[in-house]
Structure 1
C-alpha cells in the first residue's frame, strides 16, 4: 500500500484540478465520457472472458465477487468451438473498438485499444483454419498441463476446495469434447501422426499407471494440511482425502484411460509426421500462429533473413573469442563449478546485480517452492506462477532440482523466471495499475521474448560471482552465444518445417551443418518442433525484437540513450504485440 505523507499539497492540487476542470467545461466532460465509455467496454469484455472456465477465473482473480462477478458452476469448459461464431464475435468487438473517438482517449486507453484491435483482427483471420488447432501434445498439450494446473489450484477458502473437487468430476466431459474434436480431425485428414500419438499415449499411460499412489493425492493432502481458513480437523482432512482419492479413481483416471483408448482407435488415420506446410491451409495457419502467439507481423522471409544474420553474428563472435583464448571451454567448465550458490541465494543476488541496468523494484515479494518429486521428469528446471491480478501475490517460482542443468544454466534460468525476467516484469507492469483486460489479452512473444532477452544479462551477472570475474566474463559470454545459436537454429527449423515443408531428412542435413550428427538427436529435435509450431520463435524472435529495438533507440538517441530508462518504458507499456510496442516506444 502506498502512503501519501504530504496530504495538504494533495488537497491543494485537487482543488486546482477542480477549478481548471470548471473552466474547461464541455471539452473535459467529453474527454472523460469517452474514456469512461471505453473502460466500461474493457471491463465488460474482461468479465466475459475471465468466466470462460473455472481455471481461468480462479488463476486470474482471488476475489471475483469484488469485481461484481458471480462464480459460475465449476467447469473446465469445452474444447469444441464454432469457428463462424468466434469470427463473428471478434469482428463485432473490432467494430465496437473502432467506434470510439480515438483522439479523445487517454494514451493508456489508446494503447489498450490498439492492442485489442490487433488481437481481435488477428483472431478473426483464423476462420476455417481453426480445424488445425491441436489441444493435445506430449509436453505442452492439455492432457500434460491439466494435472499441474489442478495440483497448483490455490485453496483460499472452503469454496475453493469444493470447486476443485467438482472440477475433478468435469475432467471426463472435457476430455470427451476433445475426443469428439479429434474424431472430426481424423475424418478431415487432420489427425496427428502415429509418432505423436505414441508420445501422447505414453504420457497418459504414465499418469494412470499407479492409481493408488497418484501424486495429485499427495499434493491435495499437503494443501489441506496447510489450509487455515479455517483449519480442518484431522478427521475432516482424512475424510476429504478419502473422497479426493475416490474422485481420482472414479473420474480422473478413467477420463485419461478413455482419452487414451479413443486416440488409439484413431491410429493410422493421420498423416506421417510432417509439419503444417503439408496440410491444406497449413501455411496460413502457421502465419496466424506467428501473429497471435509471437506477436510479429513481418513476412516470413524477413524473419529468416534476420535469424540468419544473428546466427552469423553469434558464430563470428564465438570464433573470435576462441581465437583469443583457446582454453575458453575449459574456463567455462571451471565457471560452473565456481558458482556454488543455492537457488535461494541466486534469487537473492540477482536484484542487486541488475540495479545498474534495470529500474529498482522495491516490493517484489516471492515464494520459492520445490516441484513435487513425481512431477520432476515432466517439468522444466524452473517456472514462475503468476499471481491473481487483484491480489498480486503470491509470486511463486518453482525449482525442479532434478539436476539436469549446470549451476550457470540454472542461474540464467532463474534470471529468466525471476529477476529481471517473468516475476520482475509481471510485478513492474502491475505497478502501473493497468486495466484488467491487459492481463488476459497479452502477447507471448513479448512475455517470453523479454525473459529470453534478460537471460543474457543473467549470464553476464553470473561472471561477477566467479573467482576471477575478468577471465570468466568471456567464458560466460561464450555460453550465452552458444545458447543463442541453438535457439536460432531451432527457430529456423521451425520455419523450415511448418512453412517451407522440410521433412526429417532435410532437417537432419541442416543440423549436420552445425555439427549435430547424431541421428536420434536430430529426429528428436524434428519431432518436437513438428508438435509445437511457433514455440521457439516466441522466445527467440521475441528476444531479437527487444535486441533490435534497443539498437534502434541507441542509434536515435546517441549519447542520450539511457539503458535503464529504455527498460523502464518497455515494462511500463507491458505485454503487447511488437508493432504496438514499437509505436509507443517512439
Structure 2
C-alpha cells in the first residue's frame, strides 16, 4: 500500500514544522494571507462555485453563471495560481505552510473545473442546481424584514438563473459533455414536483413565510407573504416548468450514450483530475482498480466467516438473498426505522468519551429525506446539525445496516467531524468551511470501523452489515474505475455490487447511477479510510505504550479537512512529539474521559 499512497506535489509544498524555520510570522506569510483573504472574499460573493461537489451559498443574490462569467472565474483563479507560484514556501511559517498546501490544492481544483468547463454539466444523479436552490437561497436564515425582501428578490431572479444553466447545458450537449442518458430516467421528478404546483403556499420555497418573526409588524408580514406568493407563482414555478420542458424534450434525447468519463472530450485528463480532486492522491485508475480488487477479496473472506457465525447453512449468494428478502430485517414503518436509528446514535453517545478527548457542543437532529428527492437519494447523509435518513421504500433499508450508516453519517462520523471543524478558532475560513472528500469520507468510513471497538455491532447480522458497508466502499474502487476507465456497462457494475454486497437492489441501482454521473467521488471513501487506518497503525507501532487513542483521534480532527499527504505529515509530527494531546483552540468540550 505504500506505493499506492505515494505523496503528490503537496509533499514538496508542505514540509510542515518538521523542517520549517522557527519564526512566528514572515513577510511571505503576509503576502500569502493577502492572496487567500482577497480570493476568499471574492469567492464568497459567487454562488454556484463548487468545492468537492459542495455549492457555496451567496446571501445577496443568485449569481450569474453564464459563459462570460465562467471565463472571468477562470481568469481570476489563474491569476491566483500564478500569485501562489510567486510564494517561497520555505519562507512561510509552519502554520502557513499547512494553509498553503490546503489552499493551493483548493485553487488547483477550482481552476481545473473551469478549464474542463464542468459548469456545462451542473448536475448529477445525486445533486443538482435546481434541487440545491433552497440551500443557495438560504431560506432558513431569515430574521429581519430586509432578509425576507432579499429572499423575494432572489426568488424573482430564478428564471434568469435557470436560463443561464440551460444555455450552459446546451453548450455541454453540443460537445458531448453531459450526464449519460442511461442514468437520466426519473431525474426530472424533482423538477416536476415544483413546476406542477398550483398553490404557491404548498411550495417549500414558501415555508419561511409560514412563521414570520414575532417582532415583525403584521402589515409588513402580510405584504411580504403576498410578494412571495407572486414571486413563486409568477417567476419560480414557470422557471421550473421551462426547465422541465428543456430537460425532457432536449437534454435527455441528446445526452451522450456512453458512460465513461474518459469517453468525453479530453476525458482521460478529466478523469485523472477528478481522481486528484477527490482522493488528493496522484494515482492512476489501474492502480486504484487493483487496490479495490484486493480489498474486495479480503473483506469477502470476513463476510463468509461472519455468515457462518449466524448458523446459516446455504451458499453466500443464498445468504444475500435471505438478507434482502426476510421481513425480520426491515422496518414496518418510517417511524420504526427512525427510532432504530436514534437508538444506535444514543448507544454511540455513551462511548464517545472513551475515543475522544474533545467533543463538539453542537448536536444533530435525525430527519427523514424529503419526499421529492427520496426515490433516487442515498440511504443517509450527515451534516453538523442534521442526519438525513431515507425512509422511502422500506424494503430497501435493512436494519442490520443502520449501525454502520449511523456511525458514518452522524457521530463519530460526519456530524461530529463537521461540528468540530465549525467550532475551531484560528484557521482561515477556506479551511474551516472547506470539505475535502478523501478526508471527510475517509473519516466517515473509519468511524464505521470504530463501531467494532465501541461495541455497537451487537449481532452477527449487524457485524455483517458493517462488513457489507466496508465491501460497498471497496467495490466503489472497482466499479468507478471499471465504468470510467475500463469501459464497464451499467449492468456490469450492478452485477458486481449485487454479487459482493448485501445492499438492496434499489440502493445498488441508485449508487451505480451516482458513480456513473459523478466520476471519481466514490474513490475518496476507501482510499481515505485506508490512509487513516494506516496512519493509526503507524502511530501505535511507533509510540507503543505512550499511544493514546483519544489523542490520536483529536489530532486527526484538529487539523481539519486536509489532503491526505498533509494529514500524514501531521501524524508524523504527532509521533515525533511523543503523541501529545493537541490544543484545539476551540469552544469544543472535553470528553467525559478526557484530561482535565
Match of residue 550 from structure 1 = 536
Match of residue 251 from structure 1 = 235
The 2-side partners of 1:76 and 1:254 are apart by 19
The 1-side partners of 2:123 and 2:56 are apart by 23
Match of 2:283 among 288, 293, 298: 298
Match of residue 567 from structure 1 = 553
Match of residue 242 from structure 1 = 226
Correspondence 1:74 to 2:56: no
The 1-side partners of 2:187 and 2:112 are apart by 30
The 2-side partners of 1:83 and 1:77 are apart by 9
Give the 4+ runs in structure 1 shifted more than 6 A.
27-30, 328-340, 515-523
Match of residue 580 from structure 2 = none
**TM superposition score normalised by structure 2:** 0.77
Cα offset for 1:267? 4.7
Q: Which moved more, 1:300-309 or 1:330-339?
A: 330-339
Matches within 5 A, 1:394-413: 395-398=385-388, 402=392, 404=394, 405-413=397-405
Match of residue 283 from structure 1 = 268
Match of 1:434 among 407, 411, 427: 427
Correspondence 1:168 to 2:155: yes
Matches within 5 A, 1:97-116: 97-116=84-103
Cα offset for 1:436? 1.4
Match of 1:183 among 170, 176, 183: 170
Check whether the contact 2:441–2:525 (CA below 8 A) recurs between aligned residues.
yes
Check whether the contact 2:190–2:372 (CA below 8 A) recurs between aligned residues.
no
Match of residue 153 from structure 1 = 140
**Closer, same or farther in 2 for the Cα pair 1:362/1:266, shift >3 Å?**
closer
The 2-side partners of 1:75 and 1:87 are apart by 19
Correspondence 1:119 to 2:106: yes
The 2-side partners of 1:300 and 1:456 are apart by 26
The 1-side partners of 2:99 and 2:275 are apart by 21
Q: Which moved more, 1:453-462 or 1:152-161?
A: 453-462
Cα offset for 1:444? 1.9
Cα offset for 1:167? 1.2
Cα offset for 1:123? 4.1
Match of residue 312 from structure 1 = 297
The 1-side partners of 2:506 and 2:551 are apart by 46
Match of 2:488 among 497, 502, 510: 502
**Closer, same or farther in 2 for the Cα pair 1:90/1:512, shift >3 Å?**
same
Give 1 or 2: higher helix fraction.
Answer: 1
**Closer, same or farther in 2 for the Cα pair 1:192/1:36, shift >3 Å?**
closer
Q: Which moved more, 1:560-569 or 1:453-462?
A: 453-462
**Closer, same or farther in 2 for the Cα pair 1:435/1:323, shift >3 Å?**
same
The 2-side partners of 1:350 and 1:152 are apart by 32
Q: Which moved more, 1:373-382 or 1:335-344?
A: 335-344
Correspondence 1:199 to 2:199: no
The 2-side partners of 1:577 and 1:501 are apart by 29
Matches within 5 A, 1:442-453: 442-453=435-446
Match of residue 11 from structure 1 = none
Match of residue 131 from structure 2 = 144
Q: How many residues align?
A: 530
**Closer, same or farther in 2 for the Cα pair 1:158/1:459, shift >3 Å?**
farther
**Closer, same or farther in 2 for the Cα pair 1:122/1:136, shift >3 Å?**
closer
**Closer, same or farther in 2 for the Cα pair 1:296/1:489, shift >3 Å?**
same
Q: After superposition, give the CA deviation of every residue in 1:179-206 in whole Å (9 maximum; x if it has no partner).
A: 1111112222334444444433333223
**Closer, same or farther in 2 for the Cα pair 1:150/1:345, shift >3 Å?**
farther
The 2-side partners of 1:432 and 1:116 are apart by 17
Check whether the contact 1:137–1:200 (CA below 8 A) recurs between aligned residues.
no
Check whether the contact 1:135–1:141 (CA below 8 A) recurs between aligned residues.
yes
| SS class of match (2:235) | helix
The 1-side partners of 2:274 and 2:169 are apart by 20
Match of residue 416 from structure 1 = 408
Match of residue 316 from structure 2 = none
Cα offset for 1:557? 3.5
**Closer, same or farther in 2 for the Cα pair 1:319/1:52, shift >3 Å?**
same
Match of residue 581 from structure 2 = none
Q: After superposition, give the CA deviation of every residue in 1:54-104 in whole Å (9 maximum; x if it has no partner).
A: 999xx989xxxxxxxxx9852243153667654543343233234344344
Matches within 5 A, 1:78-97: 78=65, 80=67, 86-97=73-84
| SS class of match (1:199) | coil
**Closer, same or farther in 2 for the Cα pair 1:500/1:85, shift >3 Å?**
farther
| SS class of match (2:259) | coil
Check whether the contact 1:153–1:164 (CA below 8 A) recurs between aligned residues.
no
Cα offset for 1:406? 4.6
Check whether the contact 1:442–1:575 (CA below 8 A) recurs between aligned residues.
yes
> Runs of 5+ in structure 1 lacking a partner?
1-26, 62-70, 387-394
Q: Which moved more, 1:110-119 or 1:376-385?
A: 376-385
Cα offset for 1:381? 5.3
Check whether the contact 1:291–1:297 (CA below 8 A) recurs between aligned residues.
yes
Check whether the contact 1:34–1:101 (CA below 8 A) recurs between aligned residues.
yes
Match of 2:29 among 29, 35, 53: 35
| SS class of match (2:122) | coil
* Higher gyration radius (CA): 1
Cα offset for 1:52? 1.0
Check whether the contact 2:121–2:177 (CA below 8 A) recurs between aligned residues.
no
Check whether the contact 1:384–1:418 (CA below 8 A) recurs between aligned residues.
yes
| SS class of match (1:141) | coil
The 1-side partners of 2:537 and 2:330 are apart by 31
**TM superposition score normalised by structure 1:** 0.78
Correspondence 1:463 to 2:456: yes
> Runs of 5+ in structure 2 lacking a partner?
1-20, 314-318, 573-596
Check whether the contact 1:411–1:462 (CA below 8 A) recurs between aligned residues.
no
The 2-side partners of 1:323 and 1:258 are apart by 56
The 1-side partners of 2:104 and 2:49 are apart by 26
Matches within 5 A, 1:346-357: 346-357=344-355
